Amino acid sequence: MGLASLRRFLYFPERLPVDAPLPPHARGAREVWLEAADGVRIHGLYWAPPPGRPVVLFFHGNAGEVYQWALVRHDLAALDSGLLIIDYHGYGKSAGKPSEAALHADGEAALRWLGDEAGVAAERVVLHGKSLGGGVAGRLAATHDVLGLILESTFTSIPGVAENLFGRFLPILGTRSWEKMMPDRFATVEHLAAVRCPVLVVHGERDSLIPVAHAHSLFEAAREPKELYLVPAGDHNDVAWVAGESYGRRLREWLARCLARADRRVAEE
């Protein structure tokens, strides 16, 4: 099986016409265009932060497009922060084709855009990766000094969860065989040792796609300060909904600790 065939099992992009208008639930967003290192134009939505507040850079899962994912703004409203959501290569209005290298380039472009165009330094940015997006956020946090990292419903690596993702399509081969086959690994667990910012791992205990054991492994691999937030009845796509108000409260409390830590570091310099 070729690389293109394997990637069809990993990426499920939906396209948007370039002239598609903002949906009602994305009201107030600014449509932005970024340029990845390979010259591909990437589309995103940006809500500027209230004065003195940070920005959440959100990396979505492997399906859909940014207009659909704009609903996450309501889940994150309790953070009282700015928000940038981007579509990866080949998703929504973005050009190109998705791959691990392309998605990492998208992450770099988004963080660079926040600094250059929005005037938001990396130290005021929280990286939030949902599912596949955790692979993008984790690697980005390992190479940049950001305010914090949230890994929600994400995995240790693609080979580590391949049987759950692809078992109904392909024979169960075992993790080592998948490591040889998969062109895109997104080995988040391997990057966490280099992440120096606070880490919050969020996962549903009933996740039927990515078992909660991945959350425990990610938490163990992360450096302090780190927190593990498990939602007992949460599945893969409904963690915020199942958790209800406690989701926003828990994330806001964690963010307050991130900001206090950042303030202490500034005072000590």
Question: Amino acid identity, residue 160?
Answer: G
Catalytic residue list:
131, 207, 236
Cα distance between residue 80 and residue 47, in whole Å: 11
Cα distance between residue 58 and residue 134, in whole Å: 9
Give the phi and the psi of residue 63 in degrees, each rounded to 5. -130, 160
User: Is 14:64 a contact under the CB 8 Å cutoff?
Assistant: yes
Q: What stretches of 124-225 show up as alpha helix (H) in DSSP? A: 132-143, 158-166, 175-181, 188-191, 213-221
Helix (H, G, I), strand (E, B) or coil at 203: strand
Between CA 111 and CA 79, with CA 142 as vertex, the angle to 5 degrees is 55
Task: Give every CB contact of residue 128 below 8 A, 6+ residues apart in sequence.
Answer: 56, 57, 58, 59, 76, 137, 149, 150, 152
Cα distance between residue 154 and residue 159, in whole Å: 13
